[in-house]
Structure 1
Amino acid sequence: MSEKKPKKVFMRGAIPPDKIAKSIANHQSKTNIGAHSIFLGQIRADKVDGKVVQGIEYSAYEEMAETVFHEIRESAFEQFDMTCCHIYHSLGTVKTGELCLFVFTSSAHRKVAIEACNFLVEEIKARVPVFGKELFEDETHQWKVNQ
């Protein structure tokens, strides 16, 4: 594994759609890229015990989690011929309908970009110590934390 410095992954609150659009636009000048694959994790309004989820409050041991994100990212670069890889995950409150995870891979060919993106998402879900607490209508006092 390389000795690259870990990239900052965490963002406070939801991942804004304009961040995703800007990430895509920033890659237009990289003409060796032929494909991108994007995964967007969005908060669902699941029904649990008769109550509807209004959002999720994410927390993490940030330093430990950043280290695991870095290990996963570097492992993906070793396994796949990617050109670029970007990962962002929310911390704090994210409401239903908002985005909490953004994984963006780029490569010369689509199969590599898609497979790398899938690998990253599955590894993140399995290994990164990020915790989500579902918030319900009767817990709306917690919404003020990140707004």
Structure 2
Amino acid sequence: MEKLRTPKNIFVQGPISPIKIANSIANHATKTDIGGHSIFLGQVRADEKDGGTVRAIAYTAYEEMALQKAFEIREAVFSKYPLTCMHIYHSLGEVKTGEICLFVFTSSKHRKAAMQACEELVERIKAELPIWGKELVDNDTSVWKENT
């Protein structure tokens, strides 16, 4: 009997720590059928906006819908590529410039599948998940971020 997969919580409060990223990588050392990993790290930039510099992004989401959509994207990508593992983490709340807000990690027997799946995941997450970022500018203004 096939085990039913359920939506995983992809959200992390605040920035995604380097320790979380390192531990996630280290946890795969025992999975000796993996030949390649692909990792994407999204980092908050200090863009110039409205006469100031972005100091942070405050992320919000329609969580229930985002988790369901992330689950659907995961299932579609798992069915398209021969992956061994896939992990998605996205920040909620305030993330300062220089900190990590998105961590996508794919693993496969061969590098090409891991790389292609990782790229597709990142593009679909940015385009399809109901997650919004408000750029907090150092001159006390804020601007809703548009995904590009």
- TM-score with structure 2 length normalisation? 0.91
Gaps of 5+ in 1: 141-147
Task: Name the CA distance, whole Å, in 2 between partners of 1:59 and 1:139.
Answer: 19
Superposition pairs of residues 1-147 of structure 1, within 5 angstroms: 3-139=4-140
In 1, are the aligned partners of 2:49 and 2:137 still within 8 Å (CA)? no
Shift of 1:3: 3.7
Match of 2:117, SS state, is: helix
CA displacement 1:53-76 (0-9 Å, x = unmatched): 001000001001000111111110
Give per-residue Cα distances to partners, 1:23-44, cap 9 Å, x unaligned.
Answer: 0000000000000000000000
Cα distance in 2 for residues equivalent to 1:35 and 1:99: 22
For residues 139 and 43 of structure 1, the distance between their equivalents in structure 2, rounded to whole angstroms, comes to: 17
Q: Percent identity?
A: 60
Distance (Å, rounded) in 2 between the aligned partners of 1:18 and 1:74: 27
Deviation at 1:122, TM superposition (A): 0.4
Given residue 135 of structure 1, which amino acid in structure 2 is its aligned partner?
A: L
Question: Hey, which bits of structure 1, 4+ residues long, moved more than 6 A?
Answer: none
Other structure's SS at 1:139 match: coil
Shift of 1:49: 2.3
- Describe the SS at the equivalent of 1:41: strand
Indicate the larger mover: 89-98 or 129-138: 129-138
Structure 2 unaligned spans of 5+: 142-148
SS at structure 2 position matched to 1:138: coil
How many residues align structurally? 139
TM-score (norm 1): 0.92
Aligned partner letter, 1:94: V
RMSD over equivalenced CA pairs, Å: 1.2
